[in-house]
């Protein structure tokens, strides 16, 4: 049996943050500038109620600059550890050292246990609870050994990307999923054939980092069912994949890697939603679990006079992301997920918070945002910003370089048009042609992540079925969730047996999908919309780890028509890729070089700011191929005179029709009628066109 003891300390050049396995022990290192003492606390077993070993670090032999380090012999993989630190406790100065607090390593590669159960009072007395090892999550000492079988990130260009956003647990946790390992990394692997059938190229997962699912002991108002944090925007370990998503205890790193490898074998990229804007530690009176007890006023934005947190996230704290120490931590974390875990990209939650300086001032292009963009190791990695925060920072269109963005304006303007809002036509036209007003700073249309629905809001079917949010089961008196959804229930609130209303809703679903996939930009799907998943009108189910949020796979058979249409519209997008693999459409003076032509019903120009919500657009690609798309969001039929000259066109989509895998139905000559609330797509068969351009 190995003797556990302090070993010979390494050369400085060998020091790396975290817990690094060596031949005969483990090297631990951590940053803390203001701590006066530090201890490494070791456990053989995750359920230990007391440490097996505690070693105090010597400031003379176990510290260089602000880095504390110690090599311990006789321990190995699967041991567990925590840190303890002592120093000044002065909340007004932002210093919260507590020598009794057990601290998670920010660089921990895996975490076991949870911090889900603790006293409801948010005062310093509750800290005693986490000072008991039996109540505290613990870091796991991990090996990086894994047979990747020559796997590498796929590097699919954004122009060819179709994103499917989902919560990993909710994807397969419903009894209808039919998988052997519901709610896990393995469960997602079992659904890879489905994802391939659908035609998507990337899966974007809500946070898979270790997070706390604790939700202030909140319960459903009409029952005692506990409401957990289901979405996962409550990060506990930024380097650590979630242990609850693994099928075997403490195997989350291996199972995550296996999932990535299998996705890559299927040609599907993985993008992870990562939350660097705040952490699980809450406000100043909340628990000390990691960063607070290591160097609070370095890791978090604090008021220099009071020590209070500056909160631009709505979660009690804001990461001090542009402090050099913190930005280094963030870059190290991103590099780890790419180099060791082989992920293909990141969606940065509340990315505008990362654009704030150390005083909270919102910048146009912060040092961290630029470092992420310019990192050589991330150069082929997708970086996607949610370009707003909870402090009023709204920067859609404001990110630069190779950053892509969730285009919230695309979502809103498409919704307004199909709801039938007067004056929505001009913005609609701008959005479907790539949002050049937002990306005019040298970026390309594919850097607009186009979405109409996401995890954060209604499902597509609920948007079509409800005028108001129905969030009472969240326990916030229906005061949570967005109130500005631009939605319309089409005649009845909620589910109905009225065939006419249901047919209109399904047609509108086709309109939304056709618009999304025939727009310049990178399309993103809200998982489950392909078979009309419902959340019963709840537009903020962050705490609903139950059948409200889980995918009911029985809906595929129930909604076979829209599911088939979904697959066909993705195929059509790919077949017409040359129309979307491009820069913005240009209007040339030379009529022969015109790439886009707008026209209104009959022989009228488009009614850009008026009430007539009908428009046609002719698009020409580099091979001189042409398509026409006719949109009609009016409640009446309209007629178009087509700019076809001597061309003959064939109809390839008509959302007014019942879905068929053979959508090509008839030849079109000069004039065409389009039903109310419909889209028609036409493909040229030959000839020449001659039509006067009308600018948007």
> Quick check: helix, strand or coil at residue 278?
coil
The highest-level CATH class for domain 591-686 is mainly beta
Cα–Cα distance between 68 and 441 in angstroms, integer?
A: 44
For residues 3-27, average pLDDT: 90
For residues 564-584, average pLDDT: 93
Cα–Cα distance between 114 and 91 in angstroms, integer?
A: 26
537-555 pLDDT tens trace: 999 999 999 999 999 999 9
Quickly state the pLDDT bin for 128 (edges 50, 70, 90): confident
Among candidate residues 386, 421, 462, 473, the one labeled active-site is 386
662: tokens are 């053979």
Looking at the chain, the number of H-run helices and the number of E-run strands are: 14, 30
Cα–Cα distance between 555 and 462 in angstroms, integer?
A: 14
Quickly state the pLDDT bin for 587 (edges 50, 70, 90): low
Quickly state the pLDDT bin for 582 (edges 50, 70, 90): confident
380-429 pLDDT tens trace: 999 999 999 999 999 999 999 999 999 999 999 999 999 999 999 999 99
SS (H, E, C) 355-421: HECCCCCECCCCHHHHHHHHCHHHCCCEEEECCECCCCCECCCCCCCCCEEECHHHHHHHHHHHHCC
Among candidate residues 638, 653, 652, 654, the one with its CA nearest the CA of residue 603: 638
State the pLDDT at residue 286.
87
State the pLDDT at residue 15.
86
Cα–Cα distance between 126 and 287 in angstroms, integer?
A: 7
Range(s) for CATH 2.60.40.10 in the chain?
5-140
Choose between 392 and 226: higher pLDDT.
392
Quickly state the pLDDT bin for 10 (edges 50, 70, 90): confident
Quickly state the pLDDT bin for 61 (edges 50, 70, 90): very high
Strands 614-620 and 596-599: antiparallel
> Quick check: helix, strand or coil at residue 286?
coil
State the pLDDT at residue 219.
87
Percent share of the chain, pLDDT over 90: 82
Q: What is the mean pLDDT of the chain?
A: 93
Cα–Cα distance between 693 and 696 in angstroms, integer?
A: 10
Choose between 36 and 590: higher pLDDT.
36
205: tokens are 């997962």
CA distances from 219 to 216, 223, 474, 477, 568 (A): 9, 7, 8, 12, 42
Catalytic (active site) residue 386? yes
Residue 1 clears pLDDT 60, i.e. is over it: no
State the pLDDT at residue 493.
98
User: 562 φ, ψ to 5°?
Assistant: -70, -30
CA distances from 467 to 40, 462, 483, 532 (A): 56, 9, 10, 17
> Quick check: helix, strand or coil at residue 64?
strand
State the pLDDT at residue 591.
58
Q: Which CATH superfamily groups domain 5-140? A: Immunoglobulins (2.60.40.10)
Cα–Cα distance between 277 and 355 in angstroms, integer?
A: 10
The answer to whether 31 and 67 are in contact (CB under 8 A) is yes
Cα–Cα distance between 351 and 370 in angstroms, integer?
A: 12
Residue 691 clears pLDDT 50, i.e. is over it: no
State the pLDDT at residue 681.
95
Among candidate residues 25, 128, 123, the one with its CA nearest the CA of residue 74: 25
DSSP state of 300: B
175-214 pLDDT tens trace: 999 999 999 999 999 999 999 999 999 999 999 999 999 8
Residue 344 clears pLDDT 70, i.e. is over it: yes
With a CB cutoff of 8 Å and minimum separation 6, the contacts of 94 are: 296, 297, 300, 302, 304, 307
User: 51 φ, ψ to 5°?
Assistant: -65, 150
Range(s) for CATH 2.60.40.1180 in the chain?
591-686
Cα–Cα distance between 452 and 615 in angstroms, integer?
A: 20
Among candidate residues 349, 389, 462, 568, the one labeled active-site is 349
Q: Cβ–Cβ contacts within 10 Å for residue 475, how many?
A: 17
Range(s) for CATH 3.20.20.80 in the chain?
158-579
Q: Which fold has domain 158-579?
A: TIM Barrel (3.20.20)
DSSP 594-645: --EEEE-SBTPPP-TTSS--EEEEEEE-TT--EEEEEEE-SSS-EEEE-S-T
State the pLDDT at residue 696.
45
State the pLDDT at residue 91.
93
Residue 693 clears pLDDT 60, i.e. is over it: no
Quickly state the pLDDT bin for 117 (edges 50, 70, 90): low
With a CB cutoff of 8 Å and minimum separation 6, the contacts of 527 are: 164, 165, 166, 167, 171, 533, 551
State the pLDDT at residue 658.
76
645-675 pLDDT tens trace: 767 788 999 999 875 544 555 667 778 999 9
* Across 12-26, 74-88, 286-300, 501-515, least confident range: 12-26
> Quick check: helix, strand or coil at residue 219?
strand
Catalytic (active site) residue 340? no
CA distances from 572 to 445, 575, 578, 652 (A): 19, 5, 11, 9
- For the question of whether the overall pTM of this predicted structure is more than 0.85, the answer is yes
Cα–Cα distance between 222 and 159 in angstroms, integer?
A: 47
For residues 280-294, average pLDDT: 93
The answer to whether 100 and 132 are in contact (CB under 8 A) is no
The answer to whether 660 and 625 are in contact (CB under 8 A) is no
Among candidate residues 38, 31, 158, 40, the one with its CA nearest the CA of residue 107: 31
Residue 695 clears pLDDT 50, i.e. is over it: no
131-167 pLDDT tens trace: 888 889 999 999 999 999 999 999 999 999 999 999 9
């Amino acid at each position: 049996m190995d003797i556990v003891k302090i070993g010979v300390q390494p050369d400085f050049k060998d020091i790396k943050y975290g817990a690094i396995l060596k031949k005969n022990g483990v090297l631990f290192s951590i940053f803390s500038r203001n701590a006066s003492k530090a201890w490494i606390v070791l456990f053989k077993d995750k359920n230990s109620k007391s440490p097996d070993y505690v070693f105090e670090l010597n400031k003379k032999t176990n510290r260089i600059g602000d880095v504390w380090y110690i090599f311990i012999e006789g321990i190995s993989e699967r041991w567990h550890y925590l840190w303890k630190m002592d120093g000044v406790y002065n909340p007004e100065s932002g210093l919260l050292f507590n020598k009794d607090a057990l601290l998670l390593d920010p660089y921990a590669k895996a975490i076991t246990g949870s911090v889900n159960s603790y006293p409801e009072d948010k005062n310093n007395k509750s800290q005693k609870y986490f000072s008991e090892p039996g109540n505290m999550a613990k870091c796991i000492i991990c090996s990086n050994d894994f047979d990747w079988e020559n796997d590498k990130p796929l590097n699919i260009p954004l122009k060819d990307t179709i994103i499917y956003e989902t919560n990993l647990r909710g994807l397969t946790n419903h009894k209808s999923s039919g998988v052997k390992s519901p709610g896990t990394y393995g469960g997602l692997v079992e659904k890879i054939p489905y994802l391939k059938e659908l035609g998507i190229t990337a899966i974007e997962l809500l946070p898979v980092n270790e997070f706390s699912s604790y939700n202030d002991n909140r319960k459903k108002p009409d029952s005692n069912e506990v409401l957990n944090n289901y979405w996962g925007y409550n990060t506990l370990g930024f380097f650590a994949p979630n242990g609850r998503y693994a099928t075997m205890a403490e195997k989350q790193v291996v199972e995550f890697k296996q999932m990535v490898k299998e996705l890559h074998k299927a040609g599907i990229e993985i993008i992870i939603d990562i939350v660097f804007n705040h952490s699980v530690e809450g406000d100043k009176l909340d628990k000390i679990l990691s960063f607070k007890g290591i160097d609070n006023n370095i890791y978090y934005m604090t008021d220099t006079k009071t020590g209070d947190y500056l909160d631009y996230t709505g979660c009690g704290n804001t990461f001090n992301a542009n402090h050099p120490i913190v930005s280094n931590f963030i870059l190290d974390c991103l590099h780890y997920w790419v180099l060791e875990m082989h992920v293909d990209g990141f969606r940065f939650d509340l990315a505008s918070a990362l654009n704030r300086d150390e005083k909270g001032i919102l910048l146009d292009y912060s040092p961290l945002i630029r470092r992420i963009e310019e990192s050589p190791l991330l150069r082929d990695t997708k970086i996607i910003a949610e370009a707003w925060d909870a402090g009023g920072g709204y920067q859609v269109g404001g990110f630069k370089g190779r950053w892509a963005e969730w285009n919230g304006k695309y979502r809103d303007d498409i919704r307004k048009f199909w709801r039938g809002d007067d004056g929505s036509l001009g913005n609609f036209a701008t959005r479907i042609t790539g949002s050049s007003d937002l990306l005019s700073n040298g970026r390309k249309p594919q850097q607009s992540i186009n979405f109409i629905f996401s995890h954060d809001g209604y499902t597509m079917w609920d948007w079509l079925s409800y005028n108001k949010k129905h969030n009472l089961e969240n326990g916030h008196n229906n005061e949570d969730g967005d109130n500005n959804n631009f939605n319309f229930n089409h005649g009845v609130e909620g589910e109905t047996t009225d065939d006419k209303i249901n047919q209109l809703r399904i047609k509108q679903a086709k309109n939304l999908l056709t618009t999304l996939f025939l727009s310049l930009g990178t399309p993103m799907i809200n998982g489950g919309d392909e078979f009309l998943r419902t959340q019963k009108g709840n537009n903020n189910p962050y705490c609903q780890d139950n059948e409200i949020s889980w995918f009911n796979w029985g809906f595929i058979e129930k909604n076979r028509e829209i599911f088939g249409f979904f697959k066909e519209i993705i195929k059509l997008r790919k077949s017409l890729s040359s129309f979307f693999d491009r820069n913005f459409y240009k209007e040339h003076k030379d009529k022969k070089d015109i790439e886009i032509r707008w026209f209104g019903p009959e022989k009228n120009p488009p009614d850009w700011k008026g009430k007539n919500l009908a428009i046609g657009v002719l698009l020409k690609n580099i091979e001189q191929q042409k398509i026409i798309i006719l949109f009609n969001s009016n409640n009446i039929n309209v007629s178009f005179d087509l700019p076809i000259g001597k061309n003959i066109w064939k109809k390839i989509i008509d959302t007014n029709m019942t879905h068929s895998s053979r959508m090509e139905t008839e030849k079109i000559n000069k004039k065409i009628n389009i039903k109310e609330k419909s889209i028609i797509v036409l493909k040229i068969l030959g000839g020449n066109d001659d039509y006067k351009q009308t600018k948007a």
